[in-house]
Structure 1
C-alpha cells in the first residue's frame, strides 16, 4: 500500500496555461526565411520597390477626377523626397489642375487653396495671389474665421513664401500667419502640431 501512495503523490496535476493572443508582427514572416544568395535578395527588394512604385503611380492616375486628392498626394510625395520617381506623371497632373482650377477653387477651404497655389507656383505655373482675397473681411484684413484653422494657416504661411515682388496680399499673409501661429504655439496647440 505504501507504493500506491507514493505513486499517487508522484503524479503532478495538469497545469493549464492561458493562451496569449499576441498581435501580428509588423515584420510579417520576413525573417523566417533565409536566402543564401545576396543577388537573389537584391532582386527581391528591387521587385518589391518596383511594385510599390507602380502602386503609387496607379494611385496618382486613379484620382484624375479628384484634383484635391491629387494635390495632397503630390505634396506628400514631394515631402517624402520620392517625387522624382513620378516627375512625368506629376507634371501631367499639375498641368491638368492648372487648366481646370477655375472650376473648383472658389469652393475649397484655406488649406486646399494654399496647397493649390503653392504647388502650382513650385511647378512654374503662374497663379494669381488674388485667390486669397476671399479670406479677407470688408476692412481688408484677414478674416477672424481663419484664426482657428491651424492647418489652413500653416498652408497659407508656406504659400506666402512663394510671393513675387508687389504681391501685397502675400506680404500681409506672411505677417498675419507668422503672428497667429506664434500665438497659437504658445497657447492653443496640442500634439502633433505643437512639436
Structure 2
C-alpha cells in the first residue's frame, strides 16, 4: 500500500509539474502575441489619391458620345483616312502617315544590303526612334535587335542634348526612352499621343478629329457600362 501511495503521489506531482509547465508556455505565448499585436506595421506610402468613383458619381456619368450621330461621324472619318492613305504616292510621306496611325515601322528599312545599320541613320532622329521601338519586338536569340536597341538608345540620348531639336520629336523620344510603346496600354497611350500630336505643326486635322472622337466614344461606353454594373 505504501508503494502504491508513493507511485500515486509521484504521478500527482508529475501531473502538477506538467500543468505548471503548460501554464508557463501558454503565458509566454500570450505575452509574445501581445507584443506582436502592439507593434505597428509600417507600410510604404504609394501616394494614391482618394478615389472619386463613388456610387453617386458613377451614376451621374453621362456622355453625348453614345449617340448614333457620333458613330456615323467616326465611320465617315475612317473612310476618309483610308482613302487618304491609299492616295499617298510618296513612300516617305506614306511611311510617316502609317507611323502616325500605328506608331510602328518595319525593321528591314533600317538595314543596308549588307545587313548593317545605314550610315544615314545617325542623322535621322525619327528613324532612330522607330528603330528603337521596333527593337523591343525581338524574340529570344535575335541578337541583332538587342544591338539595334542599344545603338538607337545611345543616339537618341545624344539628340536630346541638342537645343534645336523639334519639340514634338523631343517629347516622342523622351516618352520612348522612359517606356517603349509596346510595353504601354494602347488606349492610355492614345490619350497621351492626342495631346502630343495636337502640338505638331504638320498635324492632320482630320486624323486628330477622328482620334478625339474615337476616344470619347470608347470612354462614354465604358462609363455607361460601369454605371450599369454598379446598380
Bin the TM-score by the shorter chain: 0.3 to 0.5
Which one has the largest radius of gyration?
2
Which of the two has greater helix per residue? 2
- Which structure has more relative contact order (CA 8 Å, sep 6+)? It is 2
In the superposition, the TM-score normalised over structure 2's length comes to 0.36
